Amino acid sequence: MVPEGGVKPTLELDPESVDAMEMSGVAEVGKVAKLAGSKQMKEVLTKIEYYREHPDPNLASDNDSAEYQLIVQANNLSVEIDNEMLIVHKFIRDHYLARFPELDSLVSAPLPFCRVILALGNGEDLRGDITGILTSGAVMAVTVTAATSKGEPLEEREWMVVTAACNMMFTLDEAKKTQILEYVESRISLLAPNISAIVGTQTATKILGIAGGLQGLSRIPHSNIYVLGAVKRANTGFSTASHSVDRQHTGFIYQCPLVQRTRQEDRMKAQRKIGAKVALAARVDIAGSSPDGSFGEEMMEKLEREMERLARPAPSKVIKALPRPDEEKKARRGGKRARKAKEAYAMTELRKLQNRMVFGEAEEETGAYDETRGLGMIGSASGKVRASAGEARSKAKLSKMSKGRLASIKTAGTATSGLASSLAFTPVQGLELIDPSKARAKVEDANSSWFADGAFTHVKKEKGIGKPSS
């Protein structure tokens, strides 16, 4: 996830993977830790000494300057030193395990672990002075455990290997703190003072390095800034100098002090808010409108207030007191919507009759066994049960489409009666299918032809019935 123009950062080692290594069979520490005294480290330290005496005047305005590239390279080197110190610490533990097996569980930090080893030594009795290295409680625990430890002294050659590894640990720590970190903090405050005020100098250097400088960072949306430096796999441990990425969708901003001071459940929200403020600070640093970092300090104060707000407990639910019994009820506003709501849940006349009972008479019941329901006055009451309330209730719950469909069904149902049939019984054996409409038309035609004038129209008058003969 390195944008165009950015520098790929150095990945931090997982402490759990380092603990799984087996280094008891390695003869020298130089075979597993080759950074101390390497050509890369010497070149970076030499350039740092040079630019301390001859700073680049175009550092704040030109992201392609050689000193800017040195700042990014030095910051990546500090991460490599952290990884190297983890490996050296594991080497020392595996080789000193035979002399004091319990020390690993009592002292976990790498530097105090090495100081305690050199203070106790490799004699028959581990009675060295460790006051000032550990706290008073830890000093007591280490002293008592060392007196009862069942470890055996190491050979002279093995002890020299452990001593050399401890000295390498001190050399790496000294180079990182006094030379690299101090230089990076002093120069990054000049290049990006407002970003440094929000996330710190070390995190600001990582963000600028992977984004390709202030110009590249200003072109990245604020919703993507907080994932700069994210890795695909989720590490579960933490390094000695800075917290590593311990979950997905978290980057360098997740490692800044403000996020780490926030509660675990609020850290994802915190890194998003900080990413938005970093986007604003990057634009301010490019414009140079706040070279003293006052804008970043103001954003930092706002973020701290926001983190305090997130840490507050949820407000307790207010229990409203009941009204006085003699207090008049507030007049409710009526209207079409209120009437519709009442009609939707109104009691029908049929339900009202079910709730009524005749005095001195047993009501009818429906159902069987224990699942019976009384019918009340249903069937015994005089009068007709009005269905208007039930219809209004059903209409109130129907949608507009359902009402139109129901109306069309009712209109089509009134056209033809359900009792009409096209079957007719005739004297002929069997059933004959006839059309009632054609039968009616045949009768109408006969009537119009035979009885048009109210008499037999087709009988001749001279030969009619009842006329006297000549």
The answer to whether the CB of 407 falls within 8 A of the CB of 417 is no
Please, which pLDDT band fits residue 236 given cuts at 50, 70 and 90? very low
| Collapsed DSSP state (helix, strand, coil) of residue 134 | strand
The verdict on residue 75 lying in a domain is yes
Mean pLDDT of the chain: 77
Q: Which of 24-28, 295-299, 459-463 has the highest mean pLDDT?
A: 295-299
Structure confidence at residue 418 (pLDDT): 54
Half-sphere exposure in the Cβ direction for 341 (13 Å, CA):
6
Q: Yes or no: say if 86 and 15 are a contact pair by the CB < 8 Å rule.
A: yes
pLDDT at 389: 43
pLDDT band at 451 (very low <50, low <70, confident <90, very high): low
What per-residue confidence (pLDDT) applies to 135? 86
What is the span of the domain harbouring residue 77?
A: 15-98+154-311
CA 48 – CA 255 distance, rounded (Å): 25
Residue 433: pLDDT over 80? no
In a domain, 91, yes or no: yes
Total domains in the chain come to 1
What is the C-alpha separation between 87 and 32, in angstroms, rounded? Answer: 7
Hey, what amino acid is at 411? T
Does 129 fall in a domain?
Answer: no
Is pLDDT at 115 greater than 80 in this prediction? yes
Please report which residue ranges of 59-107 form alpha helices under DSSP H: 66-96, 103-106
Q: What is the SS3 assignment for 246?
A: coil
Q: Classify each residue of 227-240 as buried b or exposed e, where b means 16 or more C-beta atoms within 10 Å of its C-beta.
A: bbbbeeeebebbbe
The 10s digit of each residue's pLDDT in 266-297 is 888 888 899 899 989 888 888 878 888 889 88
52-68 confidence digits (pLDDT tens): 888 777 665 555 677 77
The predicted model gives 17-42 an average pLDDT of 84
- How far is Cα 134 from Cα 137, in angstroms, rounded to an integer? 8
Asked, for residue 82, whether it belongs to a domain, the answer is: yes
On whether residue 379 sits in a domain, the answer given is no
- Binned at pLDDT 50, 70 and 90, residue 176 comes out as confident
Q: What is the CATH classification number for the domain harbouring 175?
A: 1.10.246.90
Element (H, E) at 433: strand 431-433
Q: Is residue 37 part of a domain?
A: yes
- Average pLDDT over every residue of 130-142: 86
Provide the pLDDT for residue 245: 39
Between 1-10, 188-197, 351-360, the lowest mean confidence (pLDDT) is in 1-10
For residue 211, being part of any structural domain is answered with yes
Least confident residue range of 202-211, 243-252, 384-393: 384-393
Lowest mean pLDDT among 300-314, 382-396, 438-452: 382-396
Mean pLDDT value of segment 79-84:
86
**Per-residue pLDDT averaged across 338-347, rounded?**
83
Which residue do the tokens 């380092």 mark? 18
pTM above 0.75, yes or no: no
Domain membership flag for residue 434: no
Residues 360-382 have pLDDT tens digits of 888 888 888 888 888 888 877 55
At 272, give phi and psi (nearest 5°): -70, -45
Q: Identify the pLDDT of residue 382.
A: 56
Tokens of 284: 């301010």
